[in-house]
Structure 1
Amino acid sequence: MTTPRTRARNKRGEGAQLRDEIVGAATKLLEDGTPENVTLRGIARQAGISAPSIYAHFPDLDSILLAVAQRAFGVLEQELGAADDEDPAQRLRAICAAYLTFAERRPHQYRVMFGAVWDAGQARDRAPGMADELAALGMGAFEILRRTLADCVASGRSTSADPFRDATALWVGLHGFAQLQVAAPLFPWPPELRGTVIDRMALLR
């Protein structure tokens, strides 16, 4: 469990820094495995500020968790985009491996990203004004999958006739694989299963 810190008052023009610190405080609470403490009061305590100070930057808890998810998806997108193999099939495999590594290394953030801690659909119902931002969550990372699969098709390395559909199926497979490994750690997972899931969902050859 983290120790809340005290914080000096921001100087004029440092509001953006405080906003980042609020998001960082929420992320830290999640990384510590204490999602029950991810409340406005708990985040303020972790950031070393008073709870009312949050309202100058975020109207509610949903908007903070949206920012946490956006930051996490940004990191995921950077890590997926780091794959640079000239062979698109090998690049796609590296992207998928990076996705699964991210899910394994950042499990609490991953849960926020995909609804286990925070339900984006319910957040949209509570705050319709966030609908566009919520709809865009994860699309940058997905576009890397789709574009790379399209490159595989163009180079004859995949038999996919619909890269959007098959990239969606691949994302479903990766997500299920990541979640099941957490849910069933004692299952004798075949060591080659990761590659099998990727190759079959992406129709690689």
Structure 2
Amino acid sequence: MSDPRTSRRDRLRAQTSAEIKTIALQLMADGGPDAISLRAIAREMGMTAGAIYSYFPTRDDLVTTLIGDVYTSAVDAAEAARDAVPENDPGGRILAWARAMREWALANPEGFRLVYGDPVPGYRPPEEGPGKEAEARACAGIVGLVAAAWPVARECASGGGAYTWDDFDPALVAHVREDFPGLPPAAIAVTLRVWGRMHGLVALEIYGHLRGLVHDPAAVYDDEMRDLVTSLGLKH
């Protein structure tokens, strides 16, 4: 039988850790990435600096954990939405992924800014960890959407560009060639274009640039995503 005191201690520690992360994101929302500070969080929570360091020894440890959490939640949402659409509907799966990412971003604007927008000054991400794992999943997810569409999309998406593997980051190339053998370099270019169109309007919306310009940003985004699917020769 487990020690109830240990279980309670673990629960309290998890609750405190969650509160620290929530306050960190709120500080970022109010004052930008510069505002993320362990001492500032400790003041907000009525803790001593020494106490908060027992949860996150450095600010970078906290930022790394935040990025891992929010990025993982974003990819979880996108993958779940994609997987709810049959594999024989590549256009529908692209739309599902895109809509899920926008919905996640609107529900987690600070998280979106942390992952896709404002860099935290001086922060150096580790070579490995949950954030890197989520980034790899996101990349594989979008490449996978293009790979599934490629039998049709290749006829519509060349754009006149003649791409070689040397045009892209070697690490990205290695992952694509391992996970999607047979996919040509041109498909990576299409993947980057798909990603840009998915995230462009979302970024404008999160940063307030659409405010006052359009009453229904969701409709504009949906039109853009449907146009994206059509441009790849797919149905939606």
The alignment's TM-score, normalised by the length of structure 2, stands at 0.64
Q: State which of 99, 112, 115 in structure 2 corresponds to 1:113.
A: 115
Q: How far apart, in 1, do the equivalents of 2:128 and 2:92 lie? A: 34
The reply on whether 1:131 has 2:127 as its aligned counterpart is yes
Q: How far apart, in 2, do the equivalents of 1:30 and 1:81 lie? A: 27
**Number of equivalent positions:** 185
Q: Which has the higher contact order (CA 8 A, sep 6+)?
A: 2
Residue segments in structure 2 that go unaligned for 5+ positions in a row: 1-6, 158-183
The reply on whether 1:142 has 2:139 as its aligned counterpart is yes
Q: How far apart, in 2, do the equivalents of 1:11 and 1:115 lie? A: 37
The reply on whether 1:93 has 2:95 as its aligned counterpart is yes
1:80: how far off? Answer: 0.3
Residue segments in structure 1 that go unaligned for 5+ positions in a row: 1-9
Report the counterpart of residue 79 of structure 2 in structure 1. Answer: 81
Choose 1 or 2 for highest CA Rg: 2
Structure-to-structure mapping, 1:1-205, within 5 angstroms: 17=14, 18-30=16-28, 33-35=30-32, 37-83=35-81, 84-86=84-86, 87-116=89-118, 118=120, 122-124=122-124, 130-133=126-129, 135-136=132-133, 138-153=135-150, 156-159=151-154, 161=184, 162-181=186-205, 182-188=208-214, 191=220, 192-197=223-228, 199-200=230-231, 203-205=232-234
The answer as to whether partners of 2:91 and 2:229 remain within 8 angstroms in 1 is no
Q: 1:184 to 1:157 in 2, by over 3 A?
A: same
Q: How far apart, in 1, do the equivalents of 2:229 and 2:28 lie? A: 29
1:178: how far off? Answer: 1.4
Give the RMSD, CA atoms, in angstroms. Answer: 3.1
Q: How far apart, in 1, do the equivalents of 2:20 and 2:69 lie? A: 12
Q: 1:199 to 1:64 in 2, by over 3 A?
A: farther
The alignment's TM-score, normalised by the length of structure 1, stands at 0.72
